[in-house]
Amino acid sequence: MSLVALVTSTTRARAATAAVSRTTLIRRGVRMYTTETPAAAEAPRPSKWGRRLKWTAYAAGAVAVVGGVLAYRHHPMPQQEPDPTKKTLLVLGTGWGAISLLRRLDTSEYNTIVVSPTNFFLFTPLLPSVTTGSLESRSIITPIKYFLRFKPFGIKFVEAEATQIDPASKTVEILDSGEVHGAITKTRLPYDYLVIGVGAESQTFGIKGVREFGLFLKEIRDARKIRTRLMDCIETAAFPGQPDDEIRRLLHMVVVGGGPTGVEYAGELHDFLRGEVDKWYPEIAPHLKITLIEALPHVLPMFSREMIEYTEKSFADMNIDLLANTAVQEVRAKELVVKDTKSGATREVPYGMLVWATGNTMRPVIKDLQARFADKGQSNRRGLVVDEYLRVAGMPDIWALGDCTATAFAPTAQVAAQQGTYLARQLNDLARTNRTGNDILATCPPFDYKHRATLAYIGDERGVSDVSLPFWSNMVSFAGYQSYLFWRSAYLSNLYTLRNRALVAFDWTKEKLFGRDISRE
pLDDT digits (tens, 9 = 90+) for 110-126: 999 999 999 999 999 99
Report the CATH number at residue 232.
3.50.50.100
369 inside domain:
yes
pLDDT of residue 331: 98
Same-domain status, 243 and 172: no
**Overall domain count for the chain:** 2
pLDDT in the model for residue 38: 55
Asked, for residue 170, whether it belongs to a domain, the answer is: yes
| CB-based contacts of 198, cutoff 8 Å, min separation 6 | 92, 93, 95, 162, 363, 365, 366, 402, 404
Count of alpha carbons within 13 angstroms of residue 117, beta-carbon side: 16
Report percent pLDDT > 70 for the chain: 89
In a domain, 72, yes or no: no
The answer to whether position 27 is within a domain reads no
Pair (165, 191) in one structural domain:
yes
Is 367 found in the same domain as 352? Answer: no
Same domain membership, residue 477 and residue 336: yes
C-alpha angle 458-461-466 in degrees, rounded to nearest 5:
55
Residue 36 has a pLDDT of 53
Residues 304 and 389 in one domain: no
Q: Is the pLDDT of residue 12 over 90?
A: no
Give the structural domain span for 374: 88-202+362-442
pLDDT of residue 448: 95
Classify residue 23: in a domain, yes or no: no
Number of continuous H segments (helices) and E segments (strands) in the chain: 15, 25
Mean pLDDT of 489-514: 96
Domain boundary among 401, 423, 442: 442
Q: Say yes or no to pLDDT of 13 above 60.
A: no
Asked if residue 350 is part of any domain, the answer here is: yes
Per-residue confidence (pLDDT) for residue 91, from 0 to 100:
98
What CA–CA distance (Å, rounded) separates 270 from 264?
10
DSSP string, 497-512: SHHHHHHHHHHHHHHH
Q: Which of these three, 415, 442, 469, is where a domain ends?
A: 442
Would you say residue 29 has pLDDT above 80?
no
Give the CB-side neighbour count of residue 53, counting CA atoms within 13 A: 5
In this structure, are residues 266 and 459 in contact, taking their beta carbons and an 8 Å threshold?
yes
Same domain, 179 and 303: no
More confident: 521 or 392: 392
Last residue of a domain, one of 419, 442, 465: 442
**What pLDDT, in 10s, does the model give residues 163-200?**
999 999 999 999 998 889 999 999 999 999 999 999 99
Answer yes or no: do 394 and 263 share one domain: no
Residues 227 and 122 in one domain: no
Strand partners, 116: 159
